[in-house]
Chain A
Amino acid sequence: MNISTDIRIHIVGVGSPHGDDRLGWVAAGELRRSTGLAALPPPTLTIAERDRPGMDLLQGLEGLTALIVVDAVHAGLAPGTLHRLAGDEIGRAAGPLSSHGFGLVAALELGRVMGCLPPRVAVFGLEIADTGGEVLSPAVTAAMPGLVAAVEREVLDQISRAGADRGASARQDD
C-alpha cells in the first residue's frame, strides 16, 4: 500500500476500569496488535487510551486527517450491538451539558462548532451490559472482534479517501 506521508489518523479508546466501560481500552489494545494495521506505524496511525477525556479530547487534533473514537454506548439496545456515528449523527446525540456530564459527544460537538475537528470524525462503540468488576461481559467480549474489524475497515477507508482527495486536488493544481 502506497500511503501519502502526511496522512494522520488518530484512534482514541475511551474508558474506565469498570466492567464494560473498559471496552474502549480493550479495543485500543487489540487495534495496536492488529496485523491488518501493522503497515501503518506512527505518525500515520496513532492509538491512545483515555480515561473520560471530556474537553481534553479536543487537544492535539491539529493536522489530523481523521479521528476515530471508541467508547462504550448505552442506547437501550441489546448488549454487544455495534454503533457507528459520523457527521451530523454525532451532534444529534449530544445531551445536556455540565462539566461532569460533559461527555464525548458534547466535546466533539463543541469541537465541531469551533472548527477544530479534523475533516473526518467517527465514533464507534458497543452497547454495554450492566456488569461490574474489571472484566468485559460475555456479550461485549463476543462482539469485540466485530468492533475491531469495523474500526480497521474505517482506518483503511479513511486512508483511501484521503488519498483520493489528494489525487483530486493534485489534479486540480495541475
Chain B
Amino acid sequence: MTEQRNIDIRVPVLARVEGEGALEIRTQGQDVTAVRLRIFEPPRLFEKILEGRDHGEVPDLVARICGICPVAYQMSAVHAFERLFGVDPGSWVRDMRRVLYCGEWMQSHALHIHLLAAPDLLGYDNAIAMARDHPDIVRRGLLLQALGNDIIRLFGARSVHPVGVRVGGFHHVPARSDVTEIYTRLSAAIPDTEALVRWAAALDLPAAEQRFVSVSLRHTAEYPMNAGRLASSAGLDAGIDEFESHFSEQQVAHSTALYCLLNGQPYLVGPLARVNLNLERLPAAVRAALDESGIVWPSRNPFHAIVARAAEIYYAVLEAARILKDYRIPEAAHAAVVPRAGVAIAGTEAPRGMLWHRYDVQEDGRVVRARIVPPTSQNQARIEADLRQSLEALGLDRSDDELRRRCEMVIRSYDPCISCATHFLDLRVERC
C-alpha cells in the first residue's frame, strides 16, 4: 500500500497575479477532495461608496477600482446611465470609446502575457530572468503595452485612473496631430502583433481538455466591447437587463468575495470565452492567425487563453487603426444628459471578461444603490473547477513543489484581478 502523506504547503507570496488571496487544497489518496480559492474583492466597498453620489461622479470613482482596467469600469458605468437617461452620444463618441477600450485591452493583455504568464510557460521565475534570454519578446510586449497606455492617455489625460470619460461622451476632443501620431504607431505595430499571435501559439502549453461554459457579450456585427447581448456556449441568449435572472452571486464560507454562477454552475469569462463565442466577428486577418495556430477553435483548453489574449491584441491594434484612420473632429465631445429615476444597467467586456453594473438612481441622478459584478468573481468558481481537474490530470503523486507550480500556473492563466492588492497565494495542501 502506498504510504499516505500529510503535507502542509504554504506559499507566502505568489507574484504575477493581481491581488491577494490564498489557496487550500485537500487530497485523499488520488482524489482532490477540496479546492478553495480564497480571495478578497474591493468592489464591494466601492458599491457602498457610490451610494448617494451623483451619476456624474461615478466614472471617476469607479476608475479607481482597478489600476489595470479602469476604462472597463468607466465604460460599464457610462453605458448604464446613458441607457437609463435615454442619451445617444452619437457615432463619434461610440467610435472613440471603442478605440479607448482597444487601448485598455492592449495594455492589460500585453502586461499579462509578457510579465505575468510567459515566465511560467518558458520556465523562468520572473519576467526579469526571462528578459535576459528573450529581450526582444519582452521589448515587443512593453511597446504594445505603452501604445495601449498612450491611447488611454489620449482620451483620459493619464493612463492610470484616466479622467476623460463622462456620461454622454468625453470631456475633451483629442487633437488631430495626437491622433495621427497614435495612428502611425498602430499601423507600425500591426506586423508585431501578428507575430505575437504566432509566438503565443508556438508556446509549449499543457494539454488540458476540460468541460466548461464560456460566457461573453455578443453583438450583431462587432467583436464585443461596449454593447451586446449575454451569450453562452450552452445556448444562453439574453438581454443585459436579464443578467440577474440567469446569474447569481453567492457567499461561501472560505472567501470574502462573492461567487457568481450561471444557473448554479461555474462559467468562464475573458479572452478565451470571447474568442470561443465570437470567432466569426473577428476580421479575416485575426481569424487566419488563429487558424494557423493549429488550435481547434472554439478551444476547450483553458491554457489557450494566452493565445486568445494575443489574438485580441492583434484585433485591438487593427480595430483602433481602422477607426482612427479617418479621424474627424466632432462638433461636441459629449451629448447633453438629463437624469431620471430608474434602474441603470450595462455590461461591457473588460480585458478579463464581462463587467456588469447596475445602479438604482433617484430623480436627481444620484445613486441609491450600486451593484458591480467584476470578471474575476465570475471566474472564481471556474478557476477552482480547473484546479481540481488539472491536479487530477497531473497526478497527485507529484511533489508538492510541482503541484504548487501547476496550481499557480493555472490561476495565473486566468489573469485574475483579485483585489488590486500586491500579493496573493498562500497555498495549503492537506493530504490524508
Contact = CB atoms under 8 A, between A and B. Distances in A.
A32 B68 CA distance: 31
B160 A97 contact: no
Contact of B128 (A52, A101, A110): A110
A18 B142 CA distance: 28
Interface in A96-111: 96-102, 106, 109-110
Interface string B415-430: 0000011111000000
A96 B139 contact: no
Interface bracket on B = 20 to 34
B213 interface: no
Contacts of A51: 158, 160
B135 A115 contact: yes
Contact of B18 (A59, A99, A106, A113): A99
Given A55-B115, A55-B145, A56-B159, A98 B17 contact: yes
A56 B149 contact: yes
A135 to B, nearest CB: 21
Contacts of B111: 55, 99
B116 interface: yes
B112 interface: yes
B324 interface: no
A33 B402 CA distance: 56
Contacts, number: 69
Contacts of A97: 15-16, 115, 126-128
A51 B145 CA distance: 16
Contacts of B35: none
B145 A52 contact: no
B214 to A, nearest CB: 25
A139 interface: no
B67 A100 contact: yes
A85 interface: no
Interface in A32-59: 51-52, 55-56, 58-59
B131 interface: yes
Nearest to B114: A55
A110 B16 contact: no
Highest count of chain A CB atoms <10 Å: which of B18, B19, B142: B142
Contact of A100 (B18, B135, B142, B149): B18
A55 B147 CA distance: 12
B398 interface: no
A100 B159 CA distance: 14
Interface of A: 51-52, 55-56, 58-59, 94, 96-102, 106, 109-110, 113-116
Given A96-B15, A100-B19, 9 more contacts: A55-B115, A55-B145, A56-B145, A97-B15, A97-B126, A98-B17, A99-B16, A100-B420, A106-B128
